[in-house]
Amino acid sequence: MGSLSIWHWLLVILVVVLLFGRGKISDLMGDMAKGIKSFKKGLQDYSDHSDEAKAIDQQSADAAKQPEKVKG
């Protein structure tokens, strides 16, 4: 009793298509795809900046380890 038959799914799909139309559904899917691409690009940019920050921190640590020359 808890599962939906194929007829229930077809009716639900028909109602959704009638309410939103084919054009709006495809526009919505396109916008969702753009959002996912933007999110992935943001993650990639974040990891690139994170790698740069680690390199700068490493350079600072290396510079701090070197003894300073005393002018005499």
The token duo for 29 is 């899917």
pLDDT at residue 53 in the model: 73
Q: Is residue 57 part of a domain?
A: yes
Q: Is residue 49 part of a domain?
A: yes
Determine the residue type at 51: D
CB atoms within 10 A of CB 28: 11
Does the pLDDT at position 1 exceed 60? no
The backbone torsions φ and ψ at residue 63, rounded to the nearest 5 degrees and listed phi first, read -65, -35
Q: Is residue 28 part of a domain?
A: yes
Model-wide pTM > 0.75:
no
Q: Is residue 2 part of a domain?
A: no
Confidence tier at 69 by pLDDT (50, 70, 90):
low
* Residue 72 DSSP class: -
Domain membership of residue 35 as a residue range: 22-63
What burial class does residue 15 get, using C-beta atoms within 10 Å of its C-beta: 0-12 exposed, 13-18 middle, 19+ buried? exposed
Write the pLDDT tens digit of every residue in 42-58.
888 887 777 777 777 77
Tally of domains in the chain: 1
**Which residue shows structure tokens 């990891």?**
47
Q: Is residue 38 part of a domain?
A: yes
Average pLDDT over residues 56-64: 72
Q: Is residue 70 part of a domain?
A: no
